A and B are shown apart, each in its own frame.
Chain A
Amino acid sequence: MTSVDEIPVQVVGQHGNVRPILNEIMHALDRLLESDEPTIIDLAGLPFAPGELEELEATLGTGELTAELDALGSSRIRETAYPGVWWLEHRNAHNEVVGRYLEITRTPEILSSQEADIVAGRARLEDRIE
């Protein structure tokens, strides 16, 4: 056995922590539709019973778009089966999960090219042309 993931875990019983989050997501979608206001839910701050995070992930499912980001470790940005609801998972250089978020937005900010990076990239391109 090399990692804790290999310890068999039997999930018993329902604790009902998933439903309130689904409710929160629905209200966030309402806000997005009505006033274009995005919402970010930090999943690290919520109490989950064993298996509930997986239950939430399975409930939300996978949608049309999944993006991989490689910056300070890998990140996966995935639209869930519910358009506008994005599942973000950040990992560090050791491939350990350092953050999980639900973003209820049209496009998560981190997907857009960033001003500073564009400026730096343009400079690199300029160097190359010269």
Chain B
Amino acid sequence: MKRTPTVGEILRAKGVSRRGFLKYCATTASLLALPPAMIPRIARAIENARRPSVIWLSFQECTGCTESLTRSASPTVEGLIFDAISLDYHHTLQAASGEQAEAARHAAMEENDGGYLVLVDGSIPTGNPGFSTIAGISNRDMLMDTVKGAAAVVAIGSCAAFGGIPGANPNPTGAVSVSELVKDKPVVNVPGCPPIAMVMTAVLTQFLTFGQLPELDKFGRPLAFFGKTIHDRCYRRPFYEQGKFAESFDDEGAKAGWCLYKLGCKGPTTYNACATVKWNSGTSFPIESGHPCLGCSEPGFWDKGGFYQPLSTGHFGSGAKLAGAAAAGVALGVAAAAAGRRRQAKITKEA
């Protein structure tokens, strides 16, 4: 493995003062959702961290995740890409294409064998390999080949983490998530459609800072960001408790910023950091903009009923089936009554 400079060395070489470095550490702590008391430890860790090689693979995806990451402001993605990580392969962002690009991927894999990170956006088709290929290589083959020497894999976005839209019913391509194929490497899921850029960078920063992956929940998501529901951290929560709900998108309740539960908000069952980290450089998040949470960071969110159907709506199937049950009840009742009448007649006769 070639000797890579530490982040401390990179920053000093760029003429960044210690004050600037402290500021960088403070924003990193904030980014990692770590308590500010951790800043000195972070400072020590970052000082000595070496930038890891990153290979980004894009499969059945819409590039929304890359858009989200490259539009992120903190701590500046350019800074992250060029200073903190060495992004050696990303077919949307890199200048090289075709064989040169593939050569870059192989070179990065060889040079950093056992130490590089693989980031994946998009799901992987398991049906016909021709559904999605890059340089003539099927997505599945490229993934399995690339993760062989990886330290860890980060599944970026709901498609890579859970199958996403391609994996939604009826799943024509047989799309699966990264974790369904990669079993022998640690896989971190950063779901969302798209995921919050800050969460993506935080996972990378954590790896860079402490050389380890963050603590994960049962769906493989970093607990620091996916440990609480949108509902738990929503500024409109007091309205939920008071029973004040918007009934439509343009009523007085909606204008007064009341709870969107009745309009289908999936906040109570959605684990993500939107309510505090927010979007567009901290401008707002969907609920703040007056729209219910769609639950995009949860597995199978496309197939969990209507976006505008309240959470507590039952899934009863059709009214016809209930009518069928009622008809069955009538039939059973008539039969029971007939039996009862026969018994009654017998008793009367005996008496």
A92 within 8 A of B: yes
Cβ < 8 Å to B, chain A residues 2-50: 4, 12-13, 15-17, 40-42, 44-50
Q: How far is the CB of B238 from chain A (nearest CB, A)?
A: 6
- Smallest beta-carbon distance B10→chain A, Å: 13
Interface size class of A (residues with CB under 8 A): 35 or more
Tell me whether A72 and B20 are in contact (CB under 8 A).
yes
Cβ-based interface call for B172 (8 A): no
- Most chain B CB within 10 A, of A69, A99, A117, is at A99
How far is the CB of B226 from the nearest CB of chain A, in Å? Answer: 15
Residue of A nearest to B74 (CB): A98
A126 to B255, CA, bound (A): 65
- Shortest Cβ distance from residue A112 to the other chain B in the assembled complex, whole angstroms: 9
Binds A, one of B29-37, B62-70, B133-141: B29-37
A97 lies within 8 A of B235 (CB): no
A109 at interface, CB cutoff 8 A = yes
- Does B344 reach chain A (CB closer than 8 Å)? no
Report the minimum CB–CB distance from B163 to chain A (whole Å). 30
Provide the A75-104 mask, 1 if CB < 8 A to any CB of B, else 0.
Answer: 100000000000000101110111101000
Contact call A47/B18, Cβ cutoff below 8 A: no
Binding-face segment, B94-102, B282-290, B303-311: B282-290
Q: Is the CB of B235 within 8 A of A48?
A: yes
In B10-49, the 8 Å CB interface with A consists of: 16-20, 22-24, 26-27, 29-30, 33, 35-37, 39
| A40 and B23 within 8 A (CB) | no
Min distance, Cβ B135 to any Cβ of chain A, angstroms: 35
* B233 engages A47 (CB within 8 Å): yes
Contact with B along A103-118 (1 / 0, CB 8 A): 0000001100011110
The reply to whether the CB of A125 lies closer than 8 angstroms to some CB of chain B is: no
Residues of chain A within 8 A (CB-CB) of B37 are 40
Question: For residue B16, which residues in chain A have a CB less than 8 angstroms away from its CB?
Answer: 71-72
Tell me which of A16, A50, A71, A94 contacts B19 (CB under 8 A). Answer: A71
Measured as residues with beta carbon below 8 angstroms from the partner, the interface class of chain B is: 35 or more
Q: Nearest-CB distance from B224 to chain A (Å)?
A: 10
| Contact call A116/B18, Cβ cutoff below 8 A | yes
- Shortest Cβ gap from B225 to chain A (Å): 11
**Residue in chain A with minimal CB distance to B19:** A71
B17 touches A46 (CB 8 A): no
> In the complex the two chains form, is A17's CB within 8 Å of B22's CB?
no
In the complex, whether B75 has a CB less than 8 A from a CB of chain A is yes
Q: Is B280 an interface residue (CB 8 A)?
A: yes
A101 CA / B27 CA spacing, docked (Å): 10
Pick the residue among B20, B39, B236 that contacts A15 (CB under 8 A). Answer: B236
B residues less than 8 Å from A47 (CB atoms): 233-235, 237, 275-276
- Which residue of the partner chain, among B19, B36, B288, contacts A42 with CB atoms under 8 Å? B36
Min CB distance, B37 to chain A, in Å?
Answer: 7
Chain A residues, CB < 8 A from B235: 15, 17, 47-49, 52
- B residues near A99, Cβ cutoff 8 Å: 23, 26-27, 30, 74
Q: For residue B205, give the distance in angstroms from its CB to the closest CB of chain A.
A: 13
Q: Known contacts being A17-B235, A40-B37, A114-B19, is A92 close to B284, with CB within 8 Å?
A: no
Interfacial chain A residues near B280, Cβ < 8 Å: 4
A98 B18 Cβ-Cβ under 8 A? no
Closest A residue, CB atoms, query B198: A44
Which residue of A16, A44, A71, A75 is within 8 Å of B30 (Cβ)? A44
CB distance from A109 to the nearest CB of B (A): 7
Determine whether B76 belongs to the interface, using a CB cutoff of 8 Å to chain A.
yes
Contact between A12 and B256, CB atoms less than 8 A apart: yes
Say how far B293's CB is from chain A's closest CB, in angstroms: 14
State the Cβ distance, A27 to closest chain B Cβ, in Å.
16
Contacts of B299 in A (CB 8 A): none
- A-B CB proximity, top 9 nearest: A71-B20, A40-B36, A114-B18, A49-B235, A72-B20, A98-B74, A116-B18, A96-B73, A99-B27
Q: A69-B23, A114-B18, A114-B22 are in contact. List 18 more A-B contacts (CB 8 A).
A: A4-B283, A15-B236, A15-B238, A42-B29, A45-B30, A47-B276, A52-B235, A71-B16, A71-B20, A72-B24, A93-B79, A96-B74, A98-B75, A99-B26, A99-B27, A114-B17, A115-B18, A117-B18
30 contacts between A and B (CB under 8 A): A13-B256, A15-B238, A16-B238, A42-B35, A42-B36, A44-B30, A45-B30, A46-B276, A47-B234, A47-B237, A49-B235, A49-B236, A69-B23, A72-B16, A90-B27, A92-B74, A92-B76, A93-B76, A94-B73, A96-B73, A96-B281, A97-B282, A98-B30, A98-B73, A98-B75, A99-B26, A99-B30, A110-B22, A114-B17, A117-B18
